Amino acid sequence: MFASYFGKPPEHKASAPGRVNLIGEHTDYNGGFCMPSVLPLHTQVWLASRSDQHVRLASDAQEGGVAEFTIGEEKPAGGWVDYVAGVTWTLGRGGYRRGGFDMLITSDVPVGKGLSSSAALEVAALRGLRSLFSLQLSDLDIAELAHAAETQFVGAPVGVMDQMVCSLGKEGFAFFLDATSREFTHVPMPPETSLRIIDSGIAHHHASGDYRTRRRECEDAARALGVAKLRDLTPADLPRVNALPEPLNRRARHVLTEDARVLDTVDALRAGDLRKCGALLKASHASLRDDFQVSLAEIDWLVDTANDDPDVLGARLTGGGFGGAVLMLCKPGAPPDTAQRVVTRYHEQYGKKAEVLVS
């Protein structure tokens, strides 16, 4: 396929996984705790160097042939090319060697579903460029550069969680991250853990106004409480949080309680207590729905229907919200069609097409 676009074979190949956030939503940009995990879905890139400073990009998910930009002249254009241009722009700002290249992108990480398709592309591109240009980059460096590309070039006000887990996560482990210190731990998932993911069919966008509004509200709440980040709050601050005006009280309360739920989930996973994990997922969704107000009626319906299923221990919205995906933690040995039953009922209820992404 690469040769059909560029008339030559690729020189290097790299990939990066998508991720699902188990728990810890909207906590990373508040300096708090989160715990995502990598998915068996990947973005792949094939690359070949060029003798000039031009970049040519092709994607199996995009129509319209080959896109182009020039190294040193990167400018945001509001499309998918920005994620690669942002990577080369960030490398240039860091003083890393760059040159022209051709790149083909393929992926089974769905776009706009809360599974970190953008971070998977950024990390895969950086891994490929590391090989192509023999760059001295650690996996942590790649995470930081990918995050800078998305926040400073693309303009999406996301936290560092996505890029960290896509670059440093391991299959079979939860990735427990302290977003302030960047310290992380790989927490083994009990072998009987059964996760299912449903795409609601409603795309979300991190650069959208609602996401930006939530982040600004968190900053306003921190300022009103006299702390640098909401991460600095403790349970003893809850009365002060509750006394804030609406909606700042809700936003801060979600972050404070969600941080605590992440820590409790770490303990539950280490103890092999999946039932406790399920209860924490349910509590997380209630907080996202009521305090952070990032859910939608359709998402709530999917979550409630999943939680009513006898084979499900707990379900919640996963990702930034306003659409995206639903995570289900199922009982060990749950039938393969557990998630599909929910999808079928969703179609009957709303006439919308959902999809089981991971079963």
Q: Which of 102, 162, 309, 311 is catalytic?
A: 162
pTM over 0.85: yes
pLDDT of 208 reads 58
Q: What is the mean pLDDT of each run of 10 residues along the chain (359 residues)?
A: 96 97 96 96 97 96 88 96 98 96 95 87 98 98 98 93 97 96 97 95 70 95 98 97 98 98 98 98 98 96 98 95 94 96 96 91
| Bridge partner list, 197 | 327, 358
Planar angle of CA 196, 200, 201, nearest 5 degrees: 130
DSSP readout, 127-167?
HHHHHHTT----HHHHHHHHHHIIIIII-----SHHHHHHH
pLDDT of 206 reads 53
Residue 162 falls in the annotated catalytic set: yes
pLDDT of 310 reads 97
Domains of the chain, CATH where assigned? 2-188 (3.30.230.10), 194-358 (3.30.70.890)
Dist CA 120 CA 347 (whole Å): 30
pLDDT of 114 reads 77
